[in-house]
Amino acid sequence: MTFQHRTIFITGGSRGIGEAIALKLAAAGANIVIAAKSVEEDPRLGGTIFSVAAAVEKAGGKALPIQVDIRDEAQIQAAVQQAADKFGGIDVLINNASAIQLTNTEQTPAKRFDLMYDINVRGTFLVTQHCIPYLKKGTNPHILTLSPPVNIAPQWLGAHVAYTISKYNMSLLALGWAEELKQYGVAANSLWPATTIATAAVRNLLGGEALINRSRKPEIIADAVSYILSRPSATCTGNNFIDEEVLKAAGITDLEKYAVTPGGKLQADLFL
């Protein structure tokens, strides 16, 4: 399935994994909607909706950068409408935006709890809700949510229960949409990396350069996304995918090129 002229709406697409996905699909001719908050670069994070839009155009795609905070339903509605007006519809939604707080119950402030649930759960739900009318009319329509398989092992619940449950909720939403929308041929799946991914969040919040060096590049996620979205939406639905399993199923078994440190030890990601 070609991506030529298909419109991809990506939340949180101003850097990292979202940017890598945008560039991969842009190179295949897609229209990319970069829906994120960053319009001025934060030196700690890098990237804005405008820098990614420029890179998308350079890669061969068409870009629409939209500043949107997915905690605000009015901004979501306006962004979805703007995307549909610009490109004539929406074919794919990638729920990439997410907030993280790896603290236990006593150390999780209410405002951080609210942030995670407003973005990870409520925001994901509302963006999807407003995209559905266009996805129903889309070409090979997919919803792909960046969230982990639901693993109720006590170690993941006990370590940072608020964050864990917020991410599991995203995966449960994906499974629910797979059932709800199958009558319309709209696929819904989740995707999660087998290892940590070299992003600003990993560097700043999880483990600094030491963890970056045990991580894979965001391009592994982008390549897995491309393979998932290439599959028929009527049959490729209701899955909690892992990136390396997707690539191996596509015949790509040598994953060394994705390692930040080729031949080095890799760090398994959370929830696996």
Query: How confident is the model over 235-262, as pLDDT tens digits?
Result: 999 999 999 999 999 999 999 999 999 9
pLDDT category of residue 10 using cuts at 50, 70 and 90:
very high
pLDDT at 203: 82
- The β-bridge partners of 88 are none
Residues known to be catalytic: 163
Average pLDDT score over the chain = 95
Tokens representing 111 are: 């405002």
Evaluate if residue 202 carries a pLDDT over 90. no
Average pLDDT over residues 171-190: 98
* CATH class of the domain at 7-198+218-252: alpha beta
pLDDT category of residue 145 using cuts at 50, 70 and 90:
very high
Spatial distance between the Cα atoms of 32 and 29, rounded to a whole number of angstroms: 9
pLDDT at 205: 73
Residues 6+ apart with CB under 8 A from 119: 70, 71, 97, 98, 99
Residues 6+ apart with CB under 8 A from 95: 11, 124, 127, 128, 143, 144, 145, 146, 147, 170
Evaluate if residue 207 carries a pLDDT over 90. no
Spatial distance between the Cα atoms of 9 and 46, rounded to a whole number of angstroms: 21
pLDDT category of residue 1 using cuts at 50, 70 and 90:
low
Long-range CB pairs of 254-258 (<8 Å, 24+ gap) are 255/216, 255/220, 258/216, 258/217, 258/219, 258/220
Evaluate if residue 125 carries a pLDDT over 80. yes
93: three-class secondary structure by DSSP: strand
What single-letter DSSP state applies at residue 199?
S
Evaluate if residue 201 carries a pLDDT over 70. yes
Average pLDDT over residues 117-137: 98
pTM for the full predicted model? 0.96
pLDDT at 38: 87
Spatial distance between the Cα atoms of 256 and 227, rounded to a whole number of angstroms: 18
Spatial distance between the Cα atoms of 235 and 15, rounded to a whole number of angstroms: 31
∠236-237-238 over CA atoms, to 5°? 140
Proportion of the chain above pLDDT 90, given as a percent: 89
